[in-house]
């Protein structure tokens, strides 16, 4: 069980990093035309979506860490 949680934690950390990098790259590609346009741009919406995914993956990683700590406290 603990090995599975460690693998899950590593996968969530990698997913967090990927979502962060993709969100930053999308944000940096925002052009002046996107900023002057009316309403949210496609790049802005994609950047927001990636940052929301990052927050989700971070929250899941924190929950897995708490679970690992709780299980290791019982075993010790």
Give per-residue pLDDT as tens, 1-58. 789 999 999 999 999 999 999 999 988 887 776 777 777 778 888 888 999 999 999 9
Q: DSSP label at 29?
A: T
- Per-residue confidence (pLDDT) for residue 20, from 0 to 100: 94
CB 2 within 8 A of CB 72: yes
- Mean local confidence (pLDDT), 54-66: 97
At 38, give phi and psi (nearest 5°). -90, 130
pLDDT higher at 61 or 39: 61
Cα–Cα distance measured from residue 24 to residue 66, given in angstroms and rounded to the nearest whole number: 28
């Amino acid at each position: 069980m603990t090995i599975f949680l460690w693998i899950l934690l590593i996968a969530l950390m990698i997913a967090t990093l990927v979502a962060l990098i993709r969100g930053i790259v999308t944000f940096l590609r925002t052009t002046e035309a996107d900023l002057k346009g009316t309403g949210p741009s496609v790049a802005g919406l994609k950047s927001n979506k990636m940052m929301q995914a990052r927050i989700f993956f971070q929250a899941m990683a924190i929950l897995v860490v708490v679970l690992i700590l709780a299980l290791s406290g019982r075993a010790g």
